[in-house]
Amino acid sequence: MVAPDALAERLLPWFDAHNRTELPWRRPGTTAWGVLVSEVMSQQTQVARVAPVWEAWMERWPTPEDLAEAPTSEVLRAWGRMGYPRRALRLQECARIVADEHGGEVPSDPAELERLPGIGVYTAAAVAVFHYGARHPVVDTNVRRVVARLDGEADAGTATTRADIAAAAALLPEAAGVAAKVSLALMELGALVCTARAPECARCPLTDVCAFSGREVPAGPSRKRQRYKGTNRHARGEVMRLLREADGPVERARVDAVWPDPAMLEDAIGQLITEGLIGTDEAGRFELPSE
């Protein structure tokens, strides 16, 4: 495996030239809260879809205190159709805890960050590194793939392991600021050049130190996108869309009209109620939660 300083010498000039500065959360002056919001929104959602939602969200609720005090119904409406709306609820829970227990300041310690609702190892490290400039490995799918290929493997496994984190940590220079930039650069390299099925080794800054350089990616099993149309998730999404767009509580007949399978719809409604994403008023009509 390439030494950290040698990797940084090759990787950082490339990153300076190709860093996606158009992503709004990479603008100078973005707060730790803005970085945390971007990372939560980017879980299971493409950054191109996240960017306009993030900008509108941060204009409306620029601080944890702002989001903590917002009506939950408005938070879910602002989340829109990004999917997995429980993330919006967890983000508001995070905002309340940060506002109440941390004086409105997002913690810089990954261990403290992981205590917040919905914040796992990756997101905690991302905030600590990308905003605070700390020296921690930030390991997502792209980073795991780059690190595995440097060692001669075609790809990493399907889930991040302790070994993946240790391998990424071993590539970080000792200086925290440089290490933080390397972490982001590794992620960018995996997203733009060292892609899953068509790595562009000829324009990779690490090609001369990569044990996989120039090799073909094995055909392997097809990585089909998870089906959405006709699934329980689809049914849940249609119910949420109806309630987001409604001016007030919605009668059951209107909810029934959004999905053709009564049994699947009933399951979807039950799950949404259990998860706190929808509720009912005194008349039994459906609505988004008010708090």
- DSSP per-residue letters across the chain: ---HHHHHHHHHHHHHHH--TTSGGGSTT--HHHHHHHHHHTTTS-HHHHHHHHHHHHHH--SHHHHHTS-HHHHHHHHTTSS-THHHHHHHHHHHHHHHHSTTPPPSSHHHHTTSTT--HHHHHHHHHHTT--------HHHHHHHHHHTT-S---SS--HHHHHHHHTTS-SSHHHHHHHHHHHHHHHHHTS-SS---GGG-TTGGG-TTTTPPPP--S--PPPP-TTSHHHHHHHHHHHHHH-SS-B-HHHHHTT-S-HHHHHHHHHHHHHTTS-EE-TTS-EE----
CA distance 160 to 121: 10
User: Would you say 130 and 184 are in contact if contact means Cβ atoms under 8 Å apart?
Assistant: yes
CA distance 91 to 75: 9
Active site residues: 39
Radius of gyration of the chain (CA): 21
CA distance 126 to 95: 17
